């Protein structure tokens, strides 16, 4: 039996892409599957029941400890497993991925996001050095890709960036697991007058405009906010806005909690700002809304319009315009039959195309080519 080991120093717990999609798919396909990640005893036990052996790391104390100390711990722990294939998920593990490759191990680099573009939006990095760091990281990723047997990218755009350095680079999109967030039948009679936002909360993910929009809606609708704030000052600004009176701040939710929020909601918001790392991204939350039969209110980026309007599963708006967001919310809440039709269209698109079953086939094909 081929032994595989996934490594992550940045993620925690049973991450959806790392564990629920990739590791579980590999275990079900007969691979002896290990995962080195920060996890609780309960999560280790849950993973074991699903065929994956989790080797838990002690949580890192801060960003820089994670990038350096935790990366080293992850590599040391993973090396002891002596796997045939190593599959790592974080850029800080690149040096260790190269080391494993030089030892004769088969290595896959899983790129979840366009990191150089992402760095350009990081407010904790001084604006004076962001571009230099982004260029340095881009070069490091490109050169290191030559050492790995493959690069598994979360979007076609990321995969294209690596193709010239690694001909086996492949997009394994982060599409939803079929049936995870809803059943076949969605009872719209049980929907509440609410819309939702699920995921990490930050300024560039549009939270301030969304809270301003909920203050402007004409319908009796509330916002279900399922996630954690990344910036204390942004949370303070959101809470100070008059729209916050119509917000239910639920905090971080597990998968069962996300499912419950989506089942009650008449629309899902993904109005991210038009920054360089979002316009070509494929946000997981958009496809999860679609999978749950929830119509989408999305930023009007060309790629997103192609998906949302092309499948007639929601509305696209200017994410910087709270009034436009408010009008889209009112439109869907005031026309529940139309909202239901759009929701079913989105669910159908996921069932036919945007689902993990299709991506799992690509993952298993990649592993078979490395065996």
CATH of the domain at 213: 3.40.50.2000
CA count, 13 A, side-chain hemisphere, 284: 18
The pLDDT value recorded for residue 90 is 95
The pLDDT mean for the chain works out to 94
- pLDDT tens for 205-235 read 999 999 999 999 999 999 999 999 989 999 9
> Does one domain contain both 85 and 214?
no
pLDDT over 90 percentage in the chain: 82
pLDDT value of residue 203: 95
Domain count within the chain: 2
Packing angle, helices 94-102 and 71-79, rounded to 10: 30
Q: Which domain holds residue 47?
A: 3-175+355-370
pLDDT at site 64: 61
Average pLDDT in the 4-32 region? Answer: 96
Q: How far apart are CA 293 and CA 314, in angstroms?
A: 11
Give me the pLDDT at residue 132, please.
86
Instruction: Say if residue 211 is in the same domain as residue 135.
Output: no
Q: What is the pLDDT of residue 129?
A: 86
User: Would you place residue 16 in the very low, low, confident or very high pLDDT band (cuts 50, 70, 90)?
Assistant: very high
What pLDDT sits at residue 183?
67
Asked if residues 193 and 219 have their Cβ atoms less than 8 Å apart, the reply is: yes
Rounded to whole angstroms, how far apart are CA atoms 241 and 126? 28
The pLDDT score that the predictor gives to residue 23 is 98
Q: What is the pLDDT of residues 104-126, one digit of tens each?
A: 999 999 999 988 788 887 777 78
136 lies in the same domain as 98: yes
Average pLDDT (338-351) is 96
Q: Report if residue 247 sits inside a domain.
A: yes
* Same domain assignment for residues 203 and 61: no
Residue 72 lies in a domain: yes
pLDDT tens per residue across span 65-97: 677 799 999 999 999 999 999 999 999 999 999
Residue 37 lies in a domain: yes
Question: Is 363 found in the same domain as 274?
Answer: no
For 246-304, the pLDDT digits (tens) are 999 999 999 899 999 999 999 999 999 999 889 999 999 999 999 999 999 999 999 99
* Burial degree of 262 (CB within 10 A; 0-12, 13-18, 19+): buried
Q: Say yes or no: 102 and 239 in one domain.
A: no
59 vs 74, higher pLDDT: 74
Same domain, 129 and 223: no
Do the domain assignments include residue 89?
A: yes
Q: In this predicted structure, what is the pLDDT of residue 371?
A: 73
Pair (281, 301) in one structural domain = yes
In a domain, 182, yes or no: no
- 108 and 146 share a domain? yes
Q: Is residue 26 part of a domain?
A: yes
pLDDT of residue 353: 97
In a domain, 183, yes or no: no
Give the predicted TM-score (pTM) of the model.
Answer: 0.90
Pair 164, 254 in one domain: no
Instruction: Give the max Cα distance, the chain.
Output: 63
Whether residues 135 and 192 fall in one domain = no
Residues in the chain: 371
**Lowest-confidence range among 21-35, 38-52, 110-124, 194-208?**
110-124
Q: Is the pLDDT of residue 184 over 70?
A: no
Is residue 181 one of the residues assigned to a domain? no
**pLDDT above 80 (res 170):** yes
For 37, the token pair is: 């990640």
127 & 139 share domain: yes
Query: Is the per-residue pLDDT at 45 higher than 80?
Result: yes
18-56: b (≥16 Cβ within 10 Å) or e:
bbbbbbbbbbeeebbbbbbbbbeeebbebbeeeebbbbb
């Amino acid at each position: 039996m081929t032994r595989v080991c996934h490594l992550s120093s940045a993620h925690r717990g049973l991450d959806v892409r790392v564990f629920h999609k990739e590791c579980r798919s590999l275990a079900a396909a007969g691979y002896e599957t290990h995962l080195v990640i920060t996890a609780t005893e309960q999560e280790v036990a849950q993973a074991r029941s699903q065929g994956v052996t989790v080797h838990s790391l002690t949580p890192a104390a801060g960003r820089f400890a994670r990038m350096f100390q935790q990366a080293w711990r992850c590599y040391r722990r993973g090396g002891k497993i002596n796997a045939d294939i190593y599959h790592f998920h974080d850029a800080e593990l690149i040096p260790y991925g190269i080391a494993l490759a030089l030892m004769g191990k088969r290595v896959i680099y899983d790129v979840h996001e366009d990191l150089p573009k992402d760095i350009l939006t990081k407010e904790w990095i001084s604006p004076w050095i962001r571009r230099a760091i982004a260029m340095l990281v881009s070069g490091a990723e490109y050169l290191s890709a030559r050492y790995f047997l493959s690069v598994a990218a979360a979007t076609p755009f990321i995969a294209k960036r690596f193709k010239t350095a690694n001909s086996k680079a492949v997009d394994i999109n982060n599409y939803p697991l079929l049936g995870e967030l809803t059943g076949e039948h969605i009872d719209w009679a049980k929907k509440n007058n609410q819309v939702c936002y699920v995921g990490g909360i930050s300024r560039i993910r549009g939270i301030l405009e969304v809270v301003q929009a909920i203050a402007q809606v004409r319908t009796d609708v509330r916002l279900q906010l399922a996630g954690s704030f990344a910036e204390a000052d942004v949370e303070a600004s959101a809470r100070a806005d008059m729209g916050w009176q119509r917000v239910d701040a639920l905090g971080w939710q597990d998968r069962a909690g996300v499912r419950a929020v989506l089942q009650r909601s008449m629309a899902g918001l993904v109005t991210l700002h038009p920054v360089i790392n979002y316009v070509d991204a494929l946000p997981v939350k958009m496809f999860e809304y679609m999978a749950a039969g929830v119509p989408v209110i999305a930023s009007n980026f060309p790629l997103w319009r192609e998906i949302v309007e092309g499948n007639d599963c929601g509305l696209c708006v200017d994410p910087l315009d709270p009034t436009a967001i408010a009008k889209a919310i009112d439109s869907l809440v005031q026309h529940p039959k139309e909202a239901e039709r759009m929701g079913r269209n989105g669910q159908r698109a996921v069932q036919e195309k945007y689902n993990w079953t299709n991506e799992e086939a690509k993952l298993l094909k990649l592993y078979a080519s490395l065996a």
